[in-house]
Structures are given as structure tokens and as C-alpha cells.
């Protein structure tokens, strides 16, 4: 079921204009469910960047669902993806390279659509529970999804953090392709395999020009 829904997400896209996504926008993205529905709501996240609201994700009933924006973004001028997130707890006893361990308290992923749809590729930027920070591996349900542990473990739990990735370079590195654009952007907090509770927060998501990579977040 999860693999089928992943394939569905890969097959849809819309043209885009704006490239800054505030929490008030993200909460309106389409819901994609793999197992039940994770709770997403706007809440005061005490974001030290001065944002009044964040998207709070609560996973406690073995659910797995995400919020998805099906919209094209051209990578030529703005290949850097920046986002803010906070994770309050991680899972224990998981092997995240297996189907039974494919749960993350927070993830953000990008999809590059190709035709036919099975040739589409995606990258999941995750806060891992057990895999070391900086490691990468194929998703256990869909080999066209690469997982990248941007953060891992208990260090920095409860803190708002700003991340930046050069998405175009990551597609070249992990998939061997150089896409001109991505076609979908999503957040997800899931706990259907772990059977444990997690709370995560998602702040603004934005696209930046190449030189932003060398600046401090």
C-alpha cells in the first residue's frame, strides 16, 4: 500500500510561482495517507526565528500521512532548499533501512517526476533515530526514494534548527540525474511501524539561490 501511494505522489504536478512556504501555507497542502492520518495543525512553536506559528505534527496512533505540495519548482536559479524544523523525541530500536523500521519523527522530501512514472526519483531529508547523521540509503518500500539523514539521534532535540541542501547536487549525487525542476514537495511524520509517539514541528520552507549555500543559516 505504501509503495502504491508513493508512486501516486510521483505522478502528479502543477506549475508554480511563489517559492516561500510559510506554515500557514503548508497546513493547506494536500494530505497523502499511507496508514491513518498523522495530526497536523498550526500551533505556537516558540520559534526563535520570530515566526508566530509552526506546523505541529503529532504521531501516536501508528499513523503515517504527509502534507504534499504538487507544484513545479525550477532548480536553475534556486537550487538550495532551506527549512526550519524541531523534533521533540526520536524512536528506539529501529533499523531504518528495513520496512519495519521505516519511520521518522520528521522528514521533508522532494520529487523529480520523469515519464514513465517508475523512472521518477525522490530524496527524503530525515531526522533519523538510529542511522548516523550524514548517511544515506534506499527506502525499503521504494528504491527510487533515497533517504538522507540530515540530523540523527537525541542531539539538538527540542531545538529549532535551520537546514540547507543543494537539491540539484543531491539528485546528481544520489540518483545520477540532473533535473531542471522538482515537481512535488512534502513533509511527513510517521509512526506506523515504530508504534511509538513523536512530535515534530515544521517552520518556513524556502528556495534560495546558489550562493546561499556558503552563508550561515
pLDDT at 141 exceeding the cut of 70:
yes
Kindly tell me if the per-residue pLDDT of 10 is higher than 60: no
- Set of cell numbers at residue 160: 529549532
Determine the Cα–Cα distance for residues 35 and 12; give it in Å rounded to an integer.
Answer: 20
Comparison of pLDDT for 83 and 10, the residue scoring more? 83
Candidate from 32-36, 72-76, 118-122, 169-173 with smallest mean pLDDT:
118-122
Label residue 117 by pLDDT band (50, 70, 90). confident
Alpha-carbon distance 202 to 187, whole Å?
8
CB 146 within 8 A of CB 136: yes
Q: For position 4, what pLDDT does the model report? A: 40
According to DSSP, the β-strands at 54-59 and 198-208 are antiparallel
**Domain ranges, ordered by start, for the chain:** 2-209
pLDDT at 98 over 60: yes
Mean pLDDT of 156-172: 97
pLDDT at residue 118, as a whole number: 75
Query: Quick one: average pLDDT of 45-63?
Result: 78
**Exposed, middle or buried, 157 (CB in 10 Å: 0-12/13-18/19+)?**
middle
H or E stretch including 59?
A: strand 54-59
Per-residue pLDDT at 214: 55
Tell me how far apart the alpha carbons of residues 122 and 141 are, in angstroms, rounded to a whole number: 13
pLDDT grade for 202, boundaries at 50, 70 and 90: very high
Exposed/middle/buried for 168, CB within 10 Å: 0-12, 13-18, 19+? buried
Containing 68, the helix (H) or strand (E) segment is strand 64-69
Summarize pLDDT for 61-82 with one digit per residue, the tens. Answer: 889 999 999 999 999 989 999 9
DSSP 8-class letter at 7: H
Instruction: Please choose, from the candidates 195, 202, 187, the residue with its C-alpha nearest in 3D space to the C-alpha of residue 60.
Output: 195
Confidence bin at 3 (pLDDT 50/70/90) = very low
pLDDT at 48: 54
pLDDT at 183 over 90: yes
What value does the mean pLDDT of the chain take?
88
Architecture of domain 2-209: Sandwich (2.60)
Which residues, at least 6 apart from 193, have a Cβ–Cβ distance to it below 8 Å? 62, 64, 94, 99, 100, 101, 102, 103
- The rounded distance, in Å, linking the Cα atoms of 190 and 38 is 7
- Which segments of 11-162 does DSSP mark as H helices, in order? 23-26
pLDDT at position 15, please? 36
Q: The pTM is what?
A: 0.87
Do 122 and 161 contact (CB within 8 A), yes or no? Answer: no
Amino acid at each position: 500500500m505504501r509503495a502504491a501511494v508513493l508512486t501516486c505522489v510521483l505522478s502528479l504536478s502543477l506549475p508554480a510561482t511563489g517559492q516561500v512556504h510559510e506554515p500557514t501555507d503548508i497546513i493547506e497542502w494536500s494530505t497523502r495517507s499511507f496508514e491513518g492520518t498523522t495530526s497536523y495543525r498550526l500551533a505556537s512553536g516558540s520559534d526563535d526565528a520570530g515566526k508566530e506559528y509552526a506546523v505541529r505534527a503529532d504521531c501516536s496512533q501508528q499513523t503515517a500521512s504527509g502534507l504534499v505540495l504538487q507544484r513545479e519548482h525550477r532548480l536553475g536559479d534556486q537550487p538550495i532548499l532551506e527549512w526550519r524544523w524541531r523534533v521533540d523525541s526520536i524512536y528506539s530500536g529501529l533499523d531504518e533501512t528495513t520496512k519495519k523500521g521505516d519511520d521518522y519523527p520528521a522528514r521533508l522530501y522532494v520529487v523529480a517526476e520523469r515519464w514513465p512514472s517508475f523512472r521518477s526519483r525522490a530524496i527524503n531529508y530525515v531526522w533519523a533515530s538510529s542511522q548516523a547523521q550524514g548517511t544515506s540509503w534506499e527506502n525499503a518500500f521504494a528504491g527510487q526514494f533515497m533517504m538522507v539523514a540530515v540530523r540523527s539521534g537525541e542531539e539538538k532535540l527540542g531545538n529549532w534548527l535551520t537546514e540547507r541542501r543543494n537539491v540539484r547536487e543531491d539528485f546528481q549525487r544520489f540518483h545520477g540525474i540532473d533535473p531542471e525542476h522538482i515537481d512535488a514537495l512534502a513533509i511527513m511524520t510517521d509512526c506506523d511501524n515504530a508504534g511509538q509517539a513523536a512530535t515534530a514541528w515544521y517552520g518556513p520552507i524556502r528556495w534560495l539561490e546558489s550562493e546561499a549555500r556558503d552563508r550561515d543559516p
